[in-house]
A and B are shown apart, each in its own frame.
Chain A
Amino acid sequence: MTAAVTEIRAIGASASRRPRRNRMPYLYLAPAFLVMGVITLYPLIYQVWMSFTDYGIQNLRAGSASPAWVGAQNYIDVLASQLSIPNYFFVRLLLYNLVWAFSNVAIHVVLGVGIALLVHTRGLWFKRFYRSLFILPVVIPPIIVATVWKNMFDADHGAINQLLALAGGVVGLPASTFGADWLRQVEDPISFIPLPLAFYAMLVTNTWLGWPLNAVVATGALQSIPGELYEAAEIDGAGRWQQFKNVTMVFLRPAMIPYAIYGFVITFNLFYLAFFMSQGGPQGRTELLVTQAYRLVNDQRLYGVGASFAVIMFFILLGITLVTNKLAKATASYQDQ
């Protein structure tokens, strides 16, 4: 309805008063598309060509021989894990990456909404004080968060083990119990879950980093709920749980779902923690697609292989975007019912 109104207004305006210039939009777009054409779109196309060649360090110099065409060999090597680099296994990489993103976002959303509800409680003292300090993890650049938390998880001098020893001391456990080498231990801490200890350490770090923005979004949604709705629900005899389910959740859902999807994509591509904290270890098991892509070109100098890896990543991300968009639409229509 509102869209139709603006549409009619726009048509009316363009017919009568708008200055007419058909080339105008292209002039405004020109600078951006000139720049993007040269440094974004052309490199992406160039990358597709590179991915079918054996581009290597020998082809870097200007004027050196052009690389040989190898067809789909790079793609086969990447997908079938036939690269001659240690600890590389594509299926594990992709599965770990999905598990990493799912587990993080689930925790962030639940904690973010929970803490937003807690601080939103009517009559809670120092609300503003809490809200302004809870945002602190967001204001620190992630590269610094990652490197500082790496020190925190240090086996001998890190704050986490010292803190655990302090807490353990209260119940009489000796400090030597808490000497876990969080980021390097090879054995899995939980025998039936094939994830290394470094995963849990980074999960803790990213939770610290991730829940506050979810809480900000949830708080915004909570503040937009008209108080009358709760009163009406109360008059109808709804209990606390029913009020939460039928009023609070209805307002939270449309705000949280797009944000959770956004968070999923961000976390899926989160370079800093895996690169700086665990450095992909132990045995490459906490490597993400983005860090593996970086290592292929920066450490291994396999430019052709790296290009095919990036193309594969593009299709994986495209798939994720399509699926999440479907999910968002499905939940949106659920909303309207």
Chain B
Amino acid sequence: MTAQTATTLTVATRRRTGPSLTRSRRDQPSLLRQAVLQAVTVLVLLTVLFPIVWVIAISLDPLNRSRPEGLSLIPSNATLEAYGQVISQPTNNPISFLGLAGNSLKIALGTSIISVLIGVSAAYAFARFKFRGREVLMLAILGVLMLPPVATLTPLFVMLNQVQLDLPLVGAFNLRNSLLGVGLAIISGLLPFAIWNLKGYLDTIPRDLEEAAWVDGASYNQTFIKIILPLALPALAVTAFLGFVSGWTEFYFSWMFLNKVEDQTLAMALYAMQGQFASTPWSQFSAFAILFAIPPAIVYFFAQRYITSGLAIGGVKG
């Protein structure tokens, strides 16, 4: 057993014995104290739930009501009209919700899959090899990670704008003014994150299995594909999911790069619906926001344990 597994095991046993010991020896709170604690906790819960309930309530307003009339859990004449409207055509532009979601999906899937695939290979090199230039390269990645995405906005805009592509099937297009260009811009920030997060996780995988495989004559490629990748699956999934969410909701690059109506994404439409001169009824805006938030929210909500622990490992061990 390596030192690393030993420490995780002690933590695990500590966690298991800790609460049970205390529960048996310590008193339960009195009923009065319980009631006070419950009241405070419920108050906190109400503040958490209020905006969510509010936006759901407003999404049920009928379409002829531009702004909500007051606070109500279920508004008068509640209807799902707004959902129907935003699914067929959310903004003034001739593009449906599915069209917008399709573009966001292309960006999100493309960027997250590519970043994780390329990232895990680099993470493996950093986690398992000592080589010349390792520290410098890791510092370069950390330096880029520190930057907000806005930092590469200007040069990427200018550079991608100079690339005219002519592909079979798609035809000629400007790389900047295309989903492909936005995808590249996103990967420029997502890839360093993927490398760093995955390296943190690979560092925690004990080396015993690999060493055993080497004894049996396995090569680095074989141990990488047959041992490391399957063991790293949870981290790969978490990293891909986080990348997916950032691509699904990406705003800065898409808003600045894309001019064509058929390339619009969900985030761009959301902003357009709320712009200074937009007259979109709040019910439609709310319905749109809910439909937009639901896919990542559901995954996040049910996989939160894996996501937060995956992040914690990546962050702390990094």
**A150 and B274 contact, Cβ closer than 8 Å, known pairs A6-B2, A39-B188:** yes
B48's contact among A124, A136, A227, A230, by CB below 8 Å, is which? A136
Q: How far is the CA of A40 from the CA of B118 in the complex (A)?
A: 14
B306 at the interface (CB under 8 A from A): no
Binary interface profile of B, 275-297, with partner A (CB < 8 Å = 1, else 0)? 00000001001100100110011
**B3 touching A31, Cβ below 8 Å:** no
A60's nearest neighbour on chain B, judged by CB, is: B161
A151 at the interface (CB under 8 A from B): yes
| Contact partners of A132 in chain B: CB under 8 A | 301, 304
Please report which residues of chain B, range 134-164, place their CB below 8 angstroms from some CB of chain A when the two chains form the complex.
134, 137, 140-141, 143-144, 146-148, 150-159, 161-162, 164
**B45 touching A134, Cβ below 8 Å:** yes
Binary interface profile of A, 301-312, with partner B (CB < 8 Å = 1, else 0)? 001001100100
Q: How far is the CA of A317 from the CA of B70 in the complex (A)?
A: 44
A43's contact among B14, B18, B71, B155, by CB below 8 Å, is which? B155
Q: How far is the CA of A141 from the CA of B29 in the complex (A)?
A: 38
**B137 touching A29, Cβ below 8 Å:** yes
**A140 touching B271, Cβ below 8 Å:** no
A25's nearest neighbour on chain B, judged by CB, is: B129
**A32 and B300 contact, Cβ closer than 8 Å, known pairs A17-B211, A223-B18:** no
CB distance from A257 to the nearest CB of B (A): 12
Please report which residues of chain B, range 16-69, place their CB below 8 angstroms from some CB of chain A when the two chains form the complex.
17-19, 21-23, 25-26, 28-29, 34, 37-38, 40-41, 44-45, 47-52, 54-55, 58, 67-68
Binds B, one of A86-94, A102-110, A158-166, A188-196: A158-166
CB distance from B251 to the nearest CB of A (A): 6
A149's nearest neighbour on chain B, judged by CB, is: B51
| Contact partners of B301 in chain A: CB under 8 A | 132, 135-136, 139
**A225 touching B129, Cβ below 8 Å:** no
B252 at the interface (CB under 8 A from A): yes
Please report which residues of chain A, range 16-34, place their CB below 8 angstroms from some CB of chain B when the two chains form the complex.
17-19, 21-22, 24-26, 28-29, 31-33
| Contact partners of B76 in chain A: CB under 8 A | none
B125 at the interface (CB under 8 A from A): yes
B179 at the interface (CB under 8 A from A): no
**A32 touching B118, Cβ below 8 Å:** yes
A80 at the interface (CB under 8 A from B): no
**A157 touching B152, Cβ below 8 Å:** no
B252's nearest neighbour on chain A, judged by CB, is: A294
A101 at the interface (CB under 8 A from B): no
| Contact partners of B315 in chain A: CB under 8 A | 258, 262
A142's nearest neighbour on chain B, judged by CB, is: B249
**B7 touching A2, Cβ below 8 Å:** yes
CB distance from B119 to the nearest CB of A (A): 6
A113 at the interface (CB under 8 A from B): no
CB distance from B159 to the nearest CB of A (A): 6
Binary interface profile of B, 211-249, with partner A (CB < 8 Å = 1, else 0)? 100110011100010000000000000000000010011
**A31 and B150 contact, Cβ closer than 8 Å, known pairs A60-B158, A156-B67:** no
B192 at the interface (CB under 8 A from A): yes
B207 at the interface (CB under 8 A from A): yes
Q: How far is the CA of A19 from the CA of B70 in the complex (A)?
A: 71
CB distance from B109 to the nearest CB of A (A): 16
B134's nearest neighbour on chain A, judged by CB, is: A25
**A226 touching B289, Cβ below 8 Å:** no
Q: How far is the CA of A249 from the CA of B185 in the complex (A)?
A: 43
CB distance from A117 to the nearest CB of B (A): 11
A62 at the interface (CB under 8 A from B): yes
Q: How far is the CA of A236 from the CA of B67 in the complex (A)?
A: 63
B169 at the interface (CB under 8 A from A): no
B23's contact among A122, A138, A231, A317, by CB below 8 Å, is which? A122
A173 at the interface (CB under 8 A from B): no
**A152 and B51 contact, Cβ closer than 8 Å, known pairs A46-B159, A298-B255, A310-B154:** yes
Binary interface profile of A, 55-78, with partner B (CB < 8 Å = 1, else 0)? 100001010000000000000000
CB distance from B309 to the nearest CB of A (A): 9
Taking A118-B41, A151-B282 as known contacts, 6 extra A-B pairs with beta carbons closer than 8 A to each other, sorted by chain A number, are: A29-B122, A44-B144, A140-B293, A294-B256, A310-B152, A313-B148
- Sort A-B residue pairs by CB-CB distance and give the 8 closest, nearest first: A227-B22, A32-B122, A25-B129, A43-B155, A2-B3, A28-B125, A139-B300, A123-B28
Q: Which residues on A are within 8 Å of B, measured CB to CB?
A: 2-3, 5-6, 9-10, 13, 17-19, 21-22, 24-26, 28-29, 31-33, 35-36, 39-44, 46-47, 50, 55, 60, 62, 115, 118-119, 121-126, 130, 132-145, 147-152, 154, 156-157, 159, 162-163, 166, 208, 212-213, 216-217, 220, 223-228, 230-231, 258, 262, 265, 269, 271-272, 276, 290, 293-294, 297-298, 303, 306-307, 310, 313-314, 317-318, 321
A/B interface sample: 14 pairs, CB < 8 A: A6-B4, A9-B207, A21-B220, A28-B125, A35-B191, A36-B192, A40-B188, A139-B301, A143-B249, A145-B51, A147-B289, A290-B148, A297-B154, A314-B147
